[in-house]
Structure formats: structure tokens, C-alpha cells
Amino acid sequence: MNTNNLFLTFCGILAACVLSAAAAAQQQQQKKPANSADSAQQKKSSAPADSSKKSATPADSTQKKSASPTDQAVLLGQFGDWGAYRATPGGKKICFALSKPTSTVSEPSGRNRDPSYAFVSTRPSEKVKNEISVIVGYQQKTGQDASASIGAAKYAMYTQNDGAWIKNAAEEAQMVETMRKGSDLVVKSESAKGTKTTDTYSLKGIAQALDKVAEECK
């Protein structure tokens, strides 16, 4: 993938779709980083594991304001802090639950970053269900995992450019169930320039959003 196309803006739902597709391919190849969140005015595109990196936001640089990844998606319902969406990029139906952080802490503070999002995606044509992914809004430090925690439960997330996915695919279903019952999802990561961020997502409504996704994408 062309890493020169930096993650300046989400190009509609294609972002969410390919973001999930990247992680799916990676999980099948034992977590070799596959495609990553695309950026700029054109969104992500799939790339072979370990050979192509997903495009991301240049770490801590000034960017144009990103569009929402839901711009070309249909809102199925808003449930608390999570929305359920449907889209058909390339004629293939996908559904996903999406949320934005309710709070963010950066060290050092004051550095620019693109918007952050958490996704739980389902792609029936690929037999993918409830795939967790996060866009952190900057290019992350190479070789360093991010982390996601819900209460006492903690999950390692492999990173590539501005995207993060659960590192152990066998834990994904458990993490989804923990999210359904939890109150907050906390994602910690570090940018290529050393900025450490903590994004907190409210899990209010995620259970209902996932139920709507499951109903729409069977």
C-alpha cells in the first residue's frame, strides 16, 4: 500500500470496511500486520501482510479536518454512545458499531492528532463477525503494542500506522462480551514522536448497537 497517502481524512465507510478487512487478513496469517487505516482523501486499501503498511496519519502533524467514517453509511440506530451503521462498499454489505472517545489525555499535551474511533465490524461476505479495531489518529511507534482495557480485563493490540487490532484473535469474542458488560473501554498508545495517549470510550449502548448490527448483517 502507498504509505505516502497519509490519513488526512476518512473517505466514508470505505475506511471502516477496509480497516476491518485488514485486521481480518492479519488474523488469518497469525497476526502479521496486514492493511491499516487509510487516510487522506482516499481511504484505506488492503495490502499483503508484512509487505504493505496501512496508510496513517503523520505522527503529531497538522492535518486537514477529517470527515466522519460514517459519511457514506446508513445509521441504523443510535444507542447511547454507540451508533449502528450499514454500508455497501463495492456492493458488499457490511455493518458496524462505532463510537468516539468521551475523554482523551495526551502526554505531552497540545500536539495535533486526527480524530479517534473504535469499531466493531461484521462482514457477512467474508464470514467476519464482531471484529474490533481502533483508529488512534496518528502514526504509532513502530514495534510497540497498544493496549485496550475494560475494567480489570486487559488486551494487547498490535499496531500499524494509525490502526490497532486485538493481537490474540482467540480473545476477540471474549473482549466483545466484556465490552457488552463493561462501562468504559480505555485504549492506550504511543505515537512515532513519543506522544502517549489514553482514549476512554463509554460503552453505554454498545450491547444494543451490536444487537442491531447482528440483526442487519446476518
d(CA 72, CA 68): 9
d(CA 36, CA 184): 25
pLDDT of residue 14: 39
CB 54 within 8 A of CB 22: yes
pLDDT of residue 39: 37
**Nearest C-alpha neighbor of 9 from the set 80, 65, 59:** 65
DSSP string across 53-107: PPP-PPTT---PPPPPTTTTSEEEEEETTEEEEEE-GGG--EEEEEE--SEEEEE
| C-alpha 111 chain-centroid distance | 21
Return the CATH number of the domain spanning residue range 57-216.
2.60.40.1880
Task: Enter the C-alpha cell of residue 102.
Answer: 468521551
Averaged in consecutive runs of 10 residues, what is the pLDDT profile of the chain (218 residues)? 34 42 43 37 35 33 50 92 94 95 93 93 94 95 95 96 94 97 97 95 98 95
d(CA 77, CA 84): 5
Residue at grid coordinates 470505505: 14
List phi, psi (to 5°) of 93: -75, 130
Question: Residues 6 or more apart from 125 whose CB is under 8 A from it?
Answer: 92, 93
pLDDT of residue 66: 52
